[in-house]
Amino acid sequence: MRRPLLLLVLAGVLMAMMAPAAAGGGPPSTSPIQGKWERLAPDDDVPDPELATHEVRVFRHTGDEWVSTFKLQNDPRLGEPQPISDTIGDFRGVEADPATVDCGEYGCLVSDITYALQGVSTFGLRGEDPFRVPTVFATTETGMAWWIGEFDFRPSFPYYEVFACPWYSKFDEALSANPAFDLDCIVQGEFDGQGFENIPVEQNCTDGYDNDGDGHVDSEDPDCPS
C-alpha cells in the first residue's frame, strides 16, 4: 500500500520533533555536504517528465549550525517551464554521528554514509502555515546524498511516515539515476494502524541502492554493467 506524499501536506501540520544531535565543534568549510545538491522529484503516481520537478538545496555553514535553502528550478528536459516561487523551505541542523543514521531496511546503507547532519526542515515558508519535519541529510561514499524526513501527525491524525530520498551533486546525475521518472524515495509508515512501504524500482548502477543485499552499493550489484 502506498499513500501519496501530498497527503502529508493536506492532513495537518502537527509534527513530532526529532531531538537535535550535539554539535562536536564546527565542521570545516570543505565538508562534503557544503554547496549545491539537486534532485529529480517525480510525481508520486505518474512517471511523466512534465510532472516532475527539479529541486535544489544549497548548504552553508554558519557558526555551529548548517543551513540550507530549498527551491525549485526549471529545466528544459522536464517539459514546459513551470512557475517558480521564491524560497519555499529551509533546513537547519548540526553534525551527527553517521552510525546513528537510519532510513529503513532497504538501501541508504549506514556503512556507506560518510557525513551526516541532523536537524529540522521547514516547508511552506511563503504560506500562512509552514510545517516542520525532523530531518537527516547524509552524504555517501558513492557521491550522492540522502534526505531522510520523519512525518508524524499522531495523535490528531493516524498517520506516520519516514521516507528517504536521493540527492546528487549535479542534476545530470539525478536524471541518469532515474530515467523512468519513477518514485525513487524509500517510504515506510503506518496509516490508521495499517503499515505501508514503497521500495524504489531498480533502474541502473547510479541509482544508489544496494541491489544484491551485500551491504554495499558497488559494481557487484546486478543492475551495474559487468
* Model pLDDT for residues 199-218, shown as the tens digit of each residue: 777 677 666 666 665 656 66
Identify the pLDDT of residue 66: 95
Which three-class secondary structure string do you get for the chain? CCCCCHHHHHHCCCCCCCCCCCCCCCCCCCCCCCEEEEEEECCCCCCCHHHCEEEEEEEEEECCEEEEEEEEECCHHHCCCCCCCCCCEEEEEEEECHHHCCCCCCCCCHHHEEEEEEEEEEECCCCCCCEEEEEEEEEECCCCEEEEEEEECCCCCCEEEEEEEEEECCHHHHHHHCCCCCCCCEEEEEECCEEEEECCCCCCCCCCCCCCCCCCCCCCCCCCCC
For the residues 151-156, what does the mean pLDDT come to? 87
For the residues 98-109, what does the mean pLDDT come to? 67
Asked which of 29-38, 91-100, 133-142 is least confident by mean pLDDT, the reply is: 29-38
Identify the pLDDT of residue 94: 94
Higher local confidence (pLDDT), 86 or 92: 92
Q: Is the pLDDT of residue 29 over 80?
A: no
Average pLDDT, rounded, for the chain: 77
Q: Given the C-alpha cell 547532519, which residue does it identify? A: 117
Identify the pLDDT of residue 121: 93
Please write the tens of the pLDDT for every residue from 164-200: 899 999 999 999 889 999 998 888 899 988 898 887 7
Identify the pLDDT of residue 27: 43
Strands across the sheet containing 186-191: 35-41, 53-62, 65-73, 89-96, 113-123, 131-140, 145-152, 159-167, 186-191, 194-198
pLDDT band at residue 220 using 50, 70 and 90 as cut-offs? low
Spatial distance between the Cα atoms of 204 and 175, rounded to a whole number of angstroms:
11
Q: Is the pLDDT of residue 59 over 50?
A: yes
pLDDT band at residue 83 using 50, 70 and 90 as cut-offs? confident
pTM: 0.77
Asked which of 27-36, 37-46, 53-62 is least confident by mean pLDDT, the reply is: 27-36
